[in-house]
Amino acid sequence: MLTGERRATARAAAASPVGRPGGEAVLVPGDADLLKMLHFMKLTRALEYRIERKLYRQGKIVGGVYVGRGQEAISVGAAMHIRRGSGEEHDDIVSPSHRDMAVFLMQGVPPERILAQYMGRKTGLTRGRDGNMHMGDLRHRLIAFVSHLGDSIPVAAGCALTLRMRGTDQVSFCFFGEGATSRGDWHEGLNFAAVMRLPVVFICNNNQYAYSTHVSRQMRVERVSDRASGYGIPGETADGNDVLAVYDAVGRAVARARRGEGPALLEFVTFRMTGHSAHDDAGYVPKTLFEEWERKDPIRLFEDELKSRRLVDALALKEMESGIESELDEAVAWAERQPYPEPEECLTGVYHE
């Protein structure tokens, strides 16, 4: 077995497609979409920064804080392919993981409601019942994240079964980390989806650490996508810090699923640029890894790409950032004005009413 660090380096160096399920053509977003992607990556980063670095430290956050800093390209690139806003018989269904803030934003959940959620306010998605990412909203086709990692895989497969029974070309999106792939539920959900050829796209953010467990202690294969062959479904690995690579791979897998050709397992190699959560200093992660991955920051790489395409310049970026900052100023102020739930509401909305 390779040692953790050596293996991580080899893995990162080799992060390129191992196959192209869903077609040879590379999917390229148009200029408007490119700017939209950059906007949501930056909005996600800024919103999580406020939550993790400001509000949490000010003691205003009620629960734990799990952010996806450094992984924004995966959520954004994937969520570009989610069909939304056209009614229940047309929209896709999404099961985000706890590091997919961008998915919530892109599905139309406004930042102020997410902030209210983290502050335990009445107008948060769980109406103050939960203080972090365990939130969903079926109006936005978001299945609430199940805290037990791996448990949302059979749920997403079940959603896909419903979609297939409807006979539509809707798709179920399922997000998780590499640690979840060792869970029994993950296996059961993936196998079921494979056997039933369900329209679900499995999106793994391989950020190399499951809490403090390095991926080399998580699996004996080189890539999460190597696991796909055991289920008879296509697997693909791509650079998770390259939003265009994510956009391309997810787009092809979604097209396959819409055509009724079944699930695919996509792995996006990235790095968790924080501790497991805001209370974890990640002392077990070699500093050099942070430095190495800092140089591959997905937002900076994408900005450089768009600059070279002359789609943005320093001024445009500055405007985008200040727009986001003032949006978030207002959102935080709004959330802080929101009331906490009343004690007598404790038990409402806990079970189906």
- Binding stretches for another protein (CB under 8 A): 1, 86-87, 89-90, 164, 167-170, 182-188, 191-192, 194-197, 199, 217-222, 226-233, 258-260
User: CB 267: neighbour CB atoms within 10 A?
Assistant: 26
Residue 243, φ and ψ in degrees, nearest 5 = -60, -30
User: CB 276: neighbour CB atoms within 10 A?
Assistant: 17
Q: For the sheet containing 264-269, what is the strand order?
A: 93-95, 172-177, 200-206, 264-269, 235-239
- Ranges assigned E (strand) in the chain: 93-95, 172-177, 200-206, 209-210, 213-214, 235-239, 264-269
Q: What is the rounded distance in angstroms from the CA atom of residue 9 to the CA atom of residue 214?
A: 12
Q: What is the rounded distance in angstroms from the CA atom of residue 162 to the CA atom of residue 157?
A: 9
The residue among 114 and 257 lying less far from another protein, judged by its C-beta, is: 257
User: CB 158: neighbour CB atoms within 10 A?
Assistant: 18
The residue among 257 and 312 lying less far from another protein, judged by its C-beta, is: 257
The residue among 36 and 197 lying less far from another protein, judged by its C-beta, is: 197
Q: What is the rounded distance in angstroms from the CA atom of residue 224 to the CA atom of residue 83?
A: 26
In whole angstroms, how close is the CB of 1 to another protein at the nearest point?
Answer: 7
Q: Is the distance from CB of 175 to CB of 79 less than 8 angstroms?
A: no
The residue among 208 and 241 lying less far from another protein, judged by its C-beta, is: 208
In whole angstroms, how close is the CB of 58 to another protein at the nearest point?
Answer: 40
The residue among 62 and 196 lying less far from another protein, judged by its C-beta, is: 196
In whole angstroms, how close is the CB of 102 to another protein at the nearest point?
Answer: 26
Q: What is the rounded distance in angstroms from the CA atom of residue 236 to the CA atom of residue 16?
A: 9
In whole angstroms, how close is the CB of 188 to another protein at the nearest point?
Answer: 5
In whole angstroms, how close is the CB of 192 to another protein at the nearest point?
Answer: 8
Residue type (1 letter), 231? Y
The residue among 114 and 228 lying less far from another protein, judged by its C-beta, is: 228
In whole angstroms, how close is the CB of 20 to another protein at the nearest point?
Answer: 20
The residue among 232 and 323 lying less far from another protein, judged by its C-beta, is: 232
Token readout for 258 is 């819409």
DSSP 191-224: HHHHHTT-SEEEEEEE-SEETTEEGGGT-SSS-G
The residue among 89 and 291 lying less far from another protein, judged by its C-beta, is: 89
In whole angstroms, how close is the CB of 215 to another protein at the nearest point?
Answer: 10
Buried/exposed 60-90: b ≥16 CB within 10 Å, e otherwise: bbbbbbbbbbbbbbbbbbbbbbbeeeeeeee
In whole angstroms, how close is the CB of 157 to another protein at the nearest point?
Answer: 12
Residue 235 contacts by C-beta under 8 Å, 6 or more apart in sequence?
A: 18, 19, 21, 223, 224, 225, 226, 227, 228, 229, 264, 265, 266, 267
In whole angstroms, how close is the CB of 90 to another protein at the nearest point?
Answer: 5
The residue among 91 and 100 lying less far from another protein, judged by its C-beta, is: 91
